[in-house]
Amino acid sequence: MPLFACHDRSVISMRGADCEELLQRLITTNLDQVEMGEAGFGALLAPQGKILMDFLVIRQDDGFLFDLDSQLVDGFIKKMTLYKMRSDVTIEKSDLEVAVSLGDGDEQIALTVKDPRHEGLGYRHYAFGNELSEAKTGGEAVLAAHISCGVPQGGTEETSRDFLYGDAFPHDVNLDQLGGIDYNKGCYVGQEVVSRMHHRGTARKRIVTVSADQALTSHAAILAGEKNIGQIGLAQGNVALAQIRLDRLATALGQGQTVQSEQGLSLSISIPAYADFADQFGLSM
């Protein structure tokens, strides 16, 4: 299978005697469940519970590697430096580059991990630039895989994708459904808010797949009648992921209303196969 270079991703290294203990208190990932040479999925949250950044985290002999949006590198290092205080932890940007293969991961690259979010996202490969010289530009292929699997991608104002960092709770973007939250690991930044949403069942906004007969417009509003019930993410042709209020969607469908984009395109909506939240709203899609 071809390798696709991820030029919008960077790698950060965290090492030191206090590294794992520090990270367990900060991020949503339970590092006890991340085996050597494997990757976990998770996020660093604001105290109010919103996602500041999400990432894959890979365990190594002497620490961890973080695979994250390149736009977040400076912010990640700044946050972790603030939190570590006098702990024995070093934080630095790595020269490793990132590539993806959407097949069986048999490429001969020293550091290869299975993407923990969904098997359809294949494998992540980490190497220095000369080792990835044959990797193709993979934006469209990777986007297609994310849409097909129902796995959203976060973005900044400059790299707007399916949701905006700093603006979404984990449940809003299915982080809990994709293994990015462990409710039994103990405290971490934002944990109280996330746990309350989980145990009270108050999450209403979720990621779904939308499609139409014509090309969709990225970041267009989704309407039921005249009411805004969601927003399309980064579209590829006539398909996209979207954030949608499932309670409002259920009400609209129950009233026989048409769900459409702000451009007037009738939308078909499907809930990702991995998700378990459809029954909560009486939806069968």
Secondary structure (DSSP) of 37-64 = T-EEEEEEE-TTS-EEEEEEEEEETTEE
Average pLDDT, the chain: 93
What whole-number distance in Å separates Cα of residue 57 and Cα of residue 121?
16
Q: Say what the pLDDT of residue 130 is.
A: 78
8 Å CB contact between 51 and 170: yes
Q: How sure is the predictor about 245, in pLDDT bands with cuts at 50, 70 and 90?
A: very high
8 Å CB contact between 275 and 247: no
Mean pLDDT of 194-215: 92
CA dihedral sign of residues 45, 50, 52, 56: positive
Tell which wins on pLDDT, 259 or 139. Answer: 259
Mean pLDDT of 229-233: 97
Where is average pLDDT lowest: 20-29, 114-123, 155-164?
A: 155-164
Does residue 107 have a pLDDT over 70? no
Q: Say what the pLDDT of residue 106 is.
A: 65
Q: How sure is the predictor about 135, in pLDDT bands with cuts at 50, 70 and 90?
A: confident
Does residue 215 have a pLDDT over 80? yes
Share of the chain above pLDDT 70, in %: 97
Q: Domains (ranges, CATH) in the chain?
A: 4-128+135-193 (3.30.1360.120), 204-272 (2.40.30.110)
Q: Say what the pLDDT of residue 178 is.
A: 97
Q: Say what the pLDDT of residue 65 is.
A: 98
Mean pLDDT of 134-148: 89
Mean pLDDT of 217-240: 96
What whole-number distance in Å separates Cα of residue 85 and Cα of residue 73?
19
Q: Say what the pLDDT of residue 284 is.
A: 67
Name, of 76-85, 103-112, 197-206, the range with top average pLDDT: 76-85
| pTM for this model (two decimals) | 0.94
Mean pLDDT of 3-31: 96
